[in-house]
Structure 1
Amino acid sequence: MARMLAVDPPLVREAAARPEFGIRAIGNYLPSGRIDCEALARRLDVSDYTLRSKIGFDSLAQKSGDEDTSDMAVAAIRDLLDRVDVQPTEIDCLAVVTQNPDNFGIPQVSALVHGKLDWPETVAAFDISLGCSGYVYALAIVSGFLLAQNGRRGVLVTADPYSKIVDPEDRGTALIFGDAATATLIERGAPWRIGASDFGTAGSMSASLAVDGQRRFRMHGKDVARFCMRAIPRSIGRTLSKNGLSIDQIGMVVLHQGSRFIVDGIASELGATGKTPFSAVTIGNTSSSSIPLALSGLLDEADEQSTDTFVLSSFGVGMSWASTVIKRHRGDSPNDRATPLGGRL
């Protein structure tokens, strides 16, 4: 049964007064390589029940050995620009969310991408060092940057290839993480408007997801799952309240695709099992790319289903979380008319 959430009128007024930046289009890049999870589970002695019911991935997308983070980001941006009539001279900023950069992060990935695309020097380029929670954080960061600079458009890239740091012999991580990149065009007046958000950090739990001294990623899975079940439904509840909404008014809940167990568990806590998809079965947990990858198909389908409101919630390394609402604005400007957002997974 859906939980009833009280609406705080001052918060609703605050949300209504926010500048109307939104998502216009999403480009994707999925590398062609795949890891067969069933075969890997047998080799690592992971039961079929755990693989299917808890982890939930059939295969994991994997970049090639000669691809780096910036290459994936460039591919996603090129896909985005194939979908919209926007020139680099019309873009104010480029933000790249990653914790697995080229060259240990110097120079920043966004600068490498800027150079590979030969974009004009007027485009500000910066990285955002966040993991699985990064997409929703970055929606707010890029929108805020554009507001402060009186800008119009920004490109938000997620590219965080965990194959760089996952130990292929680690039963706790080797069956979970995939590689992907996305590029989101954030624009003033775009049709999918970004609403009020909720953010938080539990730094006391930061060791639950961390890189060890050998530069291998380690995860305390039970601690992460307990954290997600406790913190994320509450964050979504606060987000809905800030936006003057109840869960019954949400067309789809789009969660970070951490695992089947986590997505299904949060959906059950929310009373939203019928509208919280687990869509990453064939590609894995792609960190900050998981929400935009899901959105790129779901928002296209929203046109057919008359769905106008989505809640997004990302969570992970930190431990950190971020939740927001995007709502379709049906107006008269050219950007409000249909723009294909991306291909289905």
Structure 2
Amino acid sequence: MSQHRIDGLRIAGIATCVPARAENNLDPALGFDPDEVRKVVQMAGVRERRVVDPGVTAADLCFEAAEDLLERLGWERDSVSGLIFVTQSPDYFLPSTACMLHQWLGLPDDCAAFDMGLGCSGYPYGLYLAAAMLKGGGHRRILMLHGETPSRFVAPDDQATRLLFSDAGSATALELADAGRASFCLHTDGTGHAGLIIRGGAFRDRSPADPRELFLRMDGAGIFNFTIKRVPPLVRDALGLSGLTVEQVDQFVFHQSNRFIMKHLMKKCGLPDAKVPMTIEDNGNCGGPSVAVTLTRSLPAQRERTQTLMLLGYGVGLSWGAAVVELDPQATLLHRDYAGTSARRGAA
């Protein structure tokens, strides 16, 4: 069992950036049957999604979030010694998109930069990796960027996926501190890898005979069953590892998978509505970055005390994880729309 407690680190800030373009699921121009769409909207809870324009990538969204965060924190670029880019929407197969972000952000050459290929569970996994690097020695400040553009890999005529997924980027700044604690529970079940999959386009099948294999295929029923089975024990394990009760956690911030699923999870875990913020209605399911987006949109920028948060990701892989972290009143929270002024200057 992968369970870890790491003390002496601080989340200095979180910034998120979403596309300015909003797509309304009830828009007849999408070409779906209106009655069927209303059923999907009622169940999944997604009325509106944020969708990138052609040529805009997850790295672009993360770049703007990171620039905002570094400027607000006043961090010198030379003080950042680690850059992790969590994504399944890279700019290229190679080089690592993190290397391009390293250039765009003007980070020093003694900064370790690499990609991490996880999706829905990527936010707690990324936090764990950043925390382990900080405590492992040699690092004082790390940027963990998590961005996805699922709208780019759903088939335009697939109602089940197109009406669900949206795009977002995030940047989380972590640093060593005298206080602060975090607990992590991380899990994988690779036997379910085909539940969410794009079969074509990579090196297993570069040019599939069926072009639909270049788009996401989702086993909706299988993913629902996996989530309902795996997430409630995850919540219990994370509470036990951190030594907390439900009452002592201020917010349970779920990956915004689907409103129907989240309501089921809340009921099975005994979580009150007031402790489970949701942003899925007007932001859709943007994959793992939805955890960060929900944080920056639901928590007040001005807070009087330290908040204890459980951050939960689950899905593609199959993979699931939880991070119980503290967010002090001085931590920065930023959210905005993409301005289109990003790193095109440095693109290859």
TM-score range normalised by the length of the shorter chain: 0.7 to 0.9
What residue is the counterpart of 2:173 in the other structure? 185
Kept in 1: contact 2:17–2:335 (CA 8 A): no
1:208 aligns with one of 195, 199, 204: 195
153-162 or 320-329, which moves further after superposition? Answer: 320-329
Does 1:341 find its partner at 2:333?
Answer: yes
Secondary structure of residue in 2 paired with 1:303: coil
Which of 49, 53, 69 aligns to 2:42? It is 53
Task: State whether residues 83 and 339 of structure 1, in contact with CA within 8 Å, keep that contact through their aligned partners in structure 2.
Answer: no
When residues 188 and 171 of structure 1 are mapped into structure 2, their CA distance, relative to the original with a 3 A threshold, is same
Contact 1:300/1:340 (<8 A) preserved: no
Q: What are the superposed Cα offsets for residues 159-198 of structure 1, whole Å, 9 maximum, x if unpaired? A: 111122111111220011111100000111287x452211
Q: What are the Cα deviations for residues 265-288 of structure 1, in whole angstroms up to 9, with x where unaligned?
A: 111111113211222321211112
Question: Aligned ranges for residues 59-70 of structure 1 at < 5 Å?
Answer: 59-70=48-59
Q: Which moved more, 1:111-120 or 1:88-97?
A: 111-120
5+ long unaligned stretches in structure 2: 201-212, 338-348
* Partner Cα distance (2:109, 2:135) in 1: 20
Letter of the 1:292 counterpart? A
Offset at residue 250 of structure 1 (A): 1.5
Residue 199 in structure 1 maps to residue 198 in structure 2: no
> For residues 189 and 300 of structure 1, what CA distance do their matches in structure 2 show?
23
The offset of 1:21, in angstroms, is 1.5
* Greater mean deviation of Cα atoms: 134-143 or 288-297: 288-297
Contact 1:264 1:273 in 2 (8 A): no
User: How far 1:70 sits from its partner (Å)?
Assistant: 2.4
- Determine if contact 1:100/1:162 at 8 Å carries over to the other structure: yes
Matched residue of 1:240: which SS?
Answer: helix
Post-superposition CA distance 1:111-170 (Å, at most 9, x none)? 011112232111110110000100100100111122223311100001111122111111
| Alignment pair present for 1:251 and 2:238 | no
Among residues 100, 107, 117, which one is paired with 1:119 in the alignment? 107
CA distance in 2, matches of 1:181, 1:242: 30
**Helix, strand or coil at the partner of 1:149:** coil
Q: For residue 307 of structure 2, what is the aligned residue in structure 1?
A: 308
Q: Distance in 2 between matches of 1:20 and 1:298?
A: 26
In structure 2, the CA distance between the partners of 1:116 and 1:271, relative to structure 1 (3 Å rule), is: same
| CA distance in 1 between partners of 2:260 and 2:147 (Å) | 24
Q: C-alpha distance in 2, partners of 1:167/1:279?
A: 24
Which SS does the other structure have where 1:229 is aligned? helix
Deviation at 1:302, TM superposition (A): 7.4
* Separation in 2, partners of 1:118, 1:344: 22
CA shift in 2, pair 1:297/1:20, >3 Å: farther
Which position in structure 2 is the counterpart of 1:106? 94
Secondary structure at 2:27 match in 1:
helix
Alpha-carbon RMSD: 2.2
Query: 1:332 maps to what in 2?
Result: none
What is the match of residue 265 of structure 2?
A: 266
Structure 1 CA distance for aligned equivalents of residues 314 and 168 of structure 2: 17
Please report the TM-score for the alignment, with normalisation by the length of structure 2.
Answer: 0.86
What is the correspondence of 1:157-176 to structure 2 with a 5 Å cutoff? 157-176=145-164
- Residues in 2 aligned to 1:42 and 1:181: alpha-carbon distance in whole angstroms: 25
Per the alignment, in what secondary structure is the counterpart of residue 227 of structure 2? helix
* Equivalent position amino acid for 2:182 in 1: G
Q: Is the 8 A contact 2:9 2:178 kept in 1?
A: yes
| C-alpha contact 2:59 2:169 (8 A) present in aligned 1 | no
Answer 1 or 2: which has greater strand percent. 2
**Distance verdict in 2 for CA 1:190–1:29, change over 3 Å:** farther
1:234-245 equivalences under 5 Å are: 234-245=233-244
2:27 pairs with 1:39: yes
CA distance in 2, matches of 1:283, 1:298: 12
Aligned residues: 321
State whether residues 162 and 179 of structure 1, in contact with CA within 8 Å, keep that contact through their aligned partners in structure 2: yes
Partners of 1:96 and 1:190 lie apart in 2 by 26
Inter-CA distance 194–224: structure 2 relative to 1 (3 Å threshold): farther
Displacement, 1:200? 0.8
Distance 1:291 1:159, change over 3 A: same
| Alignment-derived partner of residue 71 in structure 1 | 60
Equivalent residues of 1:98, 1:131 under 8 A apart: yes
